[in-house]
Structure 1
């Protein structure tokens, strides 16, 4: 049974031959350049010899191509999250997660104090957690009010009426995690 490695290695020979011919190099010249024998190079190009890393490295150098090109490695993909910011109720939400359900992460930008259209407290199911990245936030939870600066974090039951906004004339930014009932985002203090 062929493995994925067999499939990848099967295409190496034709790629090696095409690279050598594109450079108008002979097997003898390539042998001198790589330290491999002309017989080994011929067997590699014809698929009669399974290539090893020790053989592929000097061939990649000689042909001036990355090793990934010799084996036609699949692209690894872009690991960055490219989600579009959303404006809602005067706030800018930058989603940081893509998966549905579970805990969702956002960077939220709060406009300067007095520029938020509402200070009405909201409730919803689940738990909330936020970490102040920049600026100062005013956090109202139930009948209590808190002023928070960069580096401070809060975790709360979102069923309690709450409101979050900038505490002064500057915008504020926070990392916000919101999870369904029963899913708590937690921060463990250092040293535990």
Structure 2
């Protein structure tokens, strides 16, 4: 009788596929990066076979993760909650932000809430981009009016507006109004441009 597969390793297929697609990699690309054949990767992703720990480790390496990250051994469960007011905080004069996503390994996106006092900015003209190449940012203006500067172009945004842009370009938000402005920003890291 065959030994039962480790359920942690057996359930890795859908995660491998999601991570591969998030990195915009084909099966062939991941095969080249990991040294695991494309047919084997396909079988793993479809749940037709469970990878050995050695194969899972090579797949993790191809996805630029540690094996523990791929198998989610670093996490306490499948649901992580950040309670209101418990996010990690930071900021500068007139600009406060709270990171609303948990510090999970391999997380490919982060959500932050930014509060800008009148006259405050999230950065400045000529500041280098803070996000890795290929990152995209979507912002939703919750309250007030802000001006988004991307490279040398300005975009005025008011409450309820949303915008998506290439976050690896020089950019910042400015509150030129007389009232506090609040925006949510979602940054998807390292997704390649099409």
What's the TM-score once normalised by structure 1's chain length? 0.49
What's the TM-score once normalised by structure 2's chain length? 0.48
Computing the radius of gyration over CA atoms, which structure comes out larger, 1 or 2?
Answer: 1
